[in-house]
Amino acid sequence: MNKNKFLEALKKAKDGSKKRNFKQKVDLIVNLKDLNLKKPEQQVEFFLKLHYDKGRESKICALVGPELAAKAKSACDNVIPADDFQKYAGDKKLSKKLCNDYDFFIAQANIMAKVAAAFGRILGPRGKMPNPKAGCVVTEKTDLNTLCTNLKKTVKISAKTSLIIQLIIGNEEMKDEEIADNAYNVYEQLAHHLPNEKHNIKSMFVKLTMGKPIKVL
């Protein structure tokens, strides 16, 4: 498997897609095989920083105490101070809207218990709880500007309940080489995280938002 496979499939996907009045995303779809996801050791979940933008701007919300409020306001798209946590804990509709509006949530390490109590029931099931694997549990020493810049190129790759992984790797206005690099990066890292590496990958496709899936593997 090499980047040329992705380039060829991407060209077919673009050639076969009608022009739309919006900027279409490019998805990578991976079908896995020979995994028993009931066994935790065969589940997949990791975060990957792509070499290029992933095609859309990730929105980041900070859940912090007063020590980090100023830094968070300059780096993140939204900041929820600890004093406001109860407002969200008592309003399920408000919490759901918050969850839908943001891709990543970062939280101050020493108030994680409060974060979990106020937001866990909404963020947890959707896989959006602040995750230390992505650097999203922070301290006063954390460079939030660098973290947020990195998160905007970060994708979550997860297969815990289904053998299908689908994620955005670019948009139709990006250079084909950049999208192909993102796709190949995901393929390589995913293979590295699988028990039998590439032998656990059944098939792969690329598709535009409104287009048909084009087979890569």
pLDDT at residue 9, rounded to an integer: 97
How distant, in Å, are the alpha carbons of 21, 50, 157, 170 from that of 133? 37, 15, 12, 23
* Dihedral sign from CA coordinates of 15, 16, 18, 22: negative
Tokens 């991976």 correspond to 30
Distances (CA, A) of 55 to 74, 119, 208: 23, 28, 11
In this predicted structure, what is the pLDDT of residue 20? 93
Say yes or no to pLDDT of 181 above 90: yes
Indicate the domain borders of the chain. Answer: 3-55+153-215, 60-151
Looking at 3.40.50.300, 3.30.190.20, 3.30.1490.20, 3.20.20.100, the CATH number of the domain 3-55+153-215 comes to: 3.30.190.20
Instruction: Evaluate if residue 152 carries a pLDDT over 90.
Output: yes
Residue 172's pLDDT band, with cuts at 50, 70 and 90, is: very high
Instruction: Tell me how crowded residue 148 is: count the other CB atoms within 10 A of its CB.
Output: 19
Q: Fold for 60-151, please state it.
A: Rossmann fold (3.40.50)
Name the E strands within 11-163.
25-32, 44-49, 60-64, 78-81, 104-108, 137-138, 154-159
What mean pLDDT is predicted for residues 29-54? 96
pLDDT tens by residue, 49-104: 999 999 888 999 999 999 999 999 999 999 999 999 999 999 999 999 999 999 99
Query: Binning pLDDT at 50, 70 and 90, where does residue 190 land?
Result: very high
Q: List, in order, residues 6 or more apart from 85 with CB less than 8 Å away.
A: 63, 114, 115, 117, 118, 119
**pLDDT for the residue 55:** 87
Q: How far apart are CA 158 and CA 74, in angstroms?
A: 30
In this prediction, residue 178 carries a pLDDT of 97
Q: What is the mean pLDDT of the chain?
A: 96
81 vs 214: CA distance, rounded Å: 45
Nearest to 124 by CA among 112, 139, 108: 112
pLDDT of residue 1 exceeding 90, the answer is no
Please name the amino acid found at residue 80.
I
